[in-house]
Amino acid sequence: MINNYVIPIPKLDFTSEGFILISQIGILFLLFISGLETGFSKLKKMEKASSFVAIGGVIFPLIIGFIAAMILGFNSQESIAIALILIATSVGVTVRTLMDLHQLNTDVGATILGSAVIDDIIGIILLAFVMGIDSLTDAIWIGLRIIIFFLIFLILGIKVIDKILDLGEKINLPKALLSISLAILLIYSFFAEKAGISGIIGAFVAGILIGNTLGSRKIENDIKAIGYGFFIPIFFVGVGASIWRNAEFEVSTYTQIAVLAGVLIIVGIIGKIIGCGLGAKLARMSNKQSLQIGIGMIPRMELALIIATAIVTNNILKAEVAHQILVATVLLTIITTILAPFLIKITFKE
């Protein structure tokens, strides 16, 4: 007689150090790929319109987001964190829609792409401030650290990284260029963390620098395969797990989350339409173009989730408030991602 034998199935522990580590590497890959796709070549091509739109799309959502959060009863630090989530733009959905409408290479499409890049850079710098500020002295000190880090590692990177990657191409080893690029990613993240401004800043800078080299074209697909194939999905799983672990809120808390999410969605949409639209008008674009640009800047995704996750994992706010903000941010990304293509198509109708 053969006894039945049940193979034990190991339980996934989303709170384990290993899972958290992989999830954090996923954030680094997300910012690294974002920087890789940005590159200096694209930054140099930014027109005046993109700068105006980006500034309007940061300042207006930041101000009305802060005011709305204060009205809801959040303190000043919590309100700043909420407002910061609203400034990021994810144009992946917008780009896909504009491509379908054959409008990506128009003035509107180019302005949206340029503005989104600037939005991301401003958002990442502001995130570094929020993560390190407890007082005015901290604000000055973190500002100096950001300037020093960018000066040293940008200048060093511009002069050295291209040569390092050229050397990697001469090494007769499979994927040597990819290995060196990943090493640069980790080195920059390490020194950014040591500088006290968060490893994701270093990852973004490393991506921009490598994106400025000719070798970036040879590794971009491999980087995306590693990132999107493994690490980045685990980051998003970690976000979901964090929400699930803290899902046992009181009924009143669910109401607060629903209200906060509703306010984030409304303010997030209105803030981008008005702020980016005014920026476009200052750049002497037409009313219709200004509206199209404002709506094209509505979607939130990667950076908004990264900011919300950073707030939770770095214990910037009280745990309960931080997780309320994270859940509301997830709802914000879902709604704006669904709504934006529909509104874009309407504005492009004759």
Domain that holds residue 192: 22-223+245-347
- pLDDT, tens only, 107-128: 787 788 778 777 877 877 777 7
Is there a domain that residue 66 lies in? Answer: yes
Asked if residues 33 and 207 have their Cβ atoms less than 8 Å apart, the reply is: yes
Secondary structure E strands in the chain: none
Count of C-beta atoms within a 10 Å radius of residue 344: 24
Distance CA 204, CA 35 (A): 5
Residue 230 lies in a domain: no
> What's 124's domain CATH number?
1.20.1530.20
pLDDT of residue 1: 47
6 in any annotated domain: no
Question: Domain for residue 309, yes or no?
Answer: yes
Q: Domain tally for the chain?
A: 1
Helix (H) or strand (E) holding 25: helix 17-44
- Return the closest-CA partner of residue 47 out of 103, 109, 91: 109
pLDDT along the chain (350 residues), means of 10: 53 67 82 72 64 90 91 86 84 72 77 77 74 62 75 81 78 80 89 75 82 78 88 78 57 76 91 92 89 89 76 72 83 86 84
**9 occurs within a structural domain:** no
Q: Give pLDDT, residue 165.
A: 81
- Cα 334 to chain centroid distance, Å, stands at 15
| pLDDT 10s digits, 237-250 | 776 666 565 555 55
SS (H, E, C) 211-233: HCCCCHHHHHHHHHHHHHHHHHH
Q: Please indicate, yes or no, if residue 7 is contained in any of the structural domains.
A: no
Instruction: Confirm whether 229 is domain-assigned.
Output: no
In this predicted structure, what is the pLDDT of residue 275?
92
Asked if the structure places residue 8 within a domain, the reply is no
